[in-house]
Structure 1
């Protein structure tokens, strides 16, 4: 039976925050962190397969750590979720063929722009890996909502009431080194001037453990970003990729050095560009319960080494 959605008063932003953390943001951030971890362990030209299972990869005094122990630890920590993401993408590719679902480049562009505009970020994931992840998610949403009818008037009304949400401001992919005081910031600046890597210095010196462990990565931020010190937002506004700024005094008394690694232009999305997305968001609200891609594994014959979900 086809179901009909009706107009409600809940703002789009609240709906997005209700649905996206489960359906998009956590998946993107997870995939981004997994990708970063993989790149980190291979960035010096090595790989998990480059050493024999009994070959030493590290030592502490006379105690050694073998490649086999290393790989086992990585699989235990990230292997299950990394494989889950790969299986889910393949399942969604099969679903797209089964239900003749298409996802255009413009739809992917819109979704990424809205994620960045909402301050939700995209983790370490960029380029084609990010686009593939978003495409998989859009297929999933289209499968879930293909039989739900949303009236044109409801879609138009939501856009008119929330048009400002689609006025996407410029965003800046930012890395930061957070230091305890001005003196520490001056020392860090000196090291940067002498050729030290911003990413390496963030890992070594930043007192913010979360961003520091990611080389200072804060993701894309804009004037609407939450959980980012306003002084950092103000500092990066108007900067170009590759530029650095600081020291910047923060509200908690700490000091920051920042670097912009990429920028995304702002733009106003017109109704015709976002009407399908709004319709899909409203349709998701009509679902009786949360659903994950794993619900489709059996239908498309998905199996993995961890047994049944």
Structure 2
């Protein structure tokens, strides 16, 4: 099958943006799963009347809290659990294997593709991120197992888009922006005195969008057009879990950067990404996107919320 120039541009855009959409769902539902799992061990009958808060002397019990959580998030959380189990069952039936290397590649592409202006999100437990990515890969492999993509197509796409697979070192970064050098120095003193970076970002940072997330600006890397070069330069001098000294931003304000995590740059060869590209090109041939729910009937799936 021959692809036109426009087809390649469309697929390239999809390869860049699809991981971002995946990670958004990972972050939203994954954090909910972790939060509810954290509450369950203490949520038995013996602790149902435990007081978790009070207002004007009137207590709020753990049971009330759990009921409110179930009503607000229960359906989405259960859906995530069911779909994860459905995909594991599908992997067993169709003899699909997912390697750690495949998951590593997808997560590296997420870091490379993420646009911090659109995806300022809270950090996520790595194990849960990998679990969600595994389920997505199982789904994609099941859907594309019978789709034919010629090696020539894969090679051509790789040669035209090789830059996608030369992934720079990325820094998971938080930022506090202050109006003046004196404010930055004062904030620095509070950090050195033991204050939380997250709390200070919420209280002091004048960058509203990141302040609301405890300063989190996502993954950044050198050459990223939508990030002040001074921020990347400051982050690149840090080790994981270190913060920088105050530095001047291009607009005259001052910043302090915290490196949550650092992912060293990687270059993936054609052999490394061949299966990934084949799968993505195969997905482009499907008439519509498919979710794990399409397999519920096949695996006799029932759940609390009914149809």
With the shorter chain as reference, the TM-score category is: 0.7 to 0.9
Residues 6, 150 of structure 1: 8 Å contact kept? no
Give the aligned partner of residue 239 of structure 2: 240
SS at match of 2:194: coil
Equivalent positions of 1:214-229 (< 5 A) are 214-223=213-222, 225=224, 228-229=227-228
Alignment counterpart, residue 100 of structure 1, candidates 95, 99, 111: 95
Q: What does the per-residue CA deviation read over 1:33-88, in whole Å, with 9 as the maximum and x for residues that have no partner?
A: 3256459x76xxx9555973333211222333222221122223333222222111
Question: Is 202-211 or 148-157 further displaced after alignment?
Answer: 202-211
SS at match of 1:149: coil
Give the aligned partner of residue 34 of structure 1: 32
**Partners of 1:83 and 1:193 in 2: CA distance:** 42
Q: What does the per-residue CA deviation read over 1:120-173, in whole Å, with 9 as the maximum and x for residues that have no partner?
A: 578522432222111111111111111111111110000001111111100112
SS at match of 1:196: coil
RMSD of aligned C-alpha atoms? 2.8
**Partners of 1:51 and 1:290 in 2: CA distance:** 45
Question: What TM-score, normalized to structure 2?
Answer: 0.85
**Partners of 1:81 and 1:99 in 2: CA distance:** 27
Equivalent positions of 1:198-217 (< 5 A) are 198-208=197-207, 211-217=210-216
Distance 1:128 1:285, change over 3 A: same
Distance 1:236 1:139, change over 3 A: same
Alignment counterpart, residue 82 of structure 1, candidates 64, 77, 101: 77
Distance 1:187 1:306, change over 3 A: farther
Residues 144, 283 of structure 2: 8 Å contact kept? yes
Give the aligned partner of residue 262 of structure 2: 263
Question: What TM-score, normalized to structure 1?
Answer: 0.84
**Partners of 1:137 and 1:247 in 2: CA distance:** 41
**Partners of 1:57 and 1:245 in 2: CA distance:** 37
Residues 119, 224 of structure 1: 8 Å contact kept? no
1:115 equivalent in alignment to 2:131: no
**Partners of 2:266 and 2:219 in 1: CA distance:** 15
Distance 1:14 1:132, change over 3 A: same
Give the aligned partner of residue 64 of structure 1: 59
Give the aligned partner of residue 7 of structure 1: 3
Equivalent positions of 1:102-181 (< 5 A) are 102-119=97-114, 123-181=122-180
Question: Is 298-307 or 266-275 further displaced after alignment?
Answer: 298-307
**Gaps spanning 5+ residues in structure 1: where?**
none
SS at match of 2:97: coil
**Partners of 1:158 and 1:239 in 2: CA distance:** 36
Distance 1:306 1:183, change over 3 A: farther
SS at match of 1:150: coil
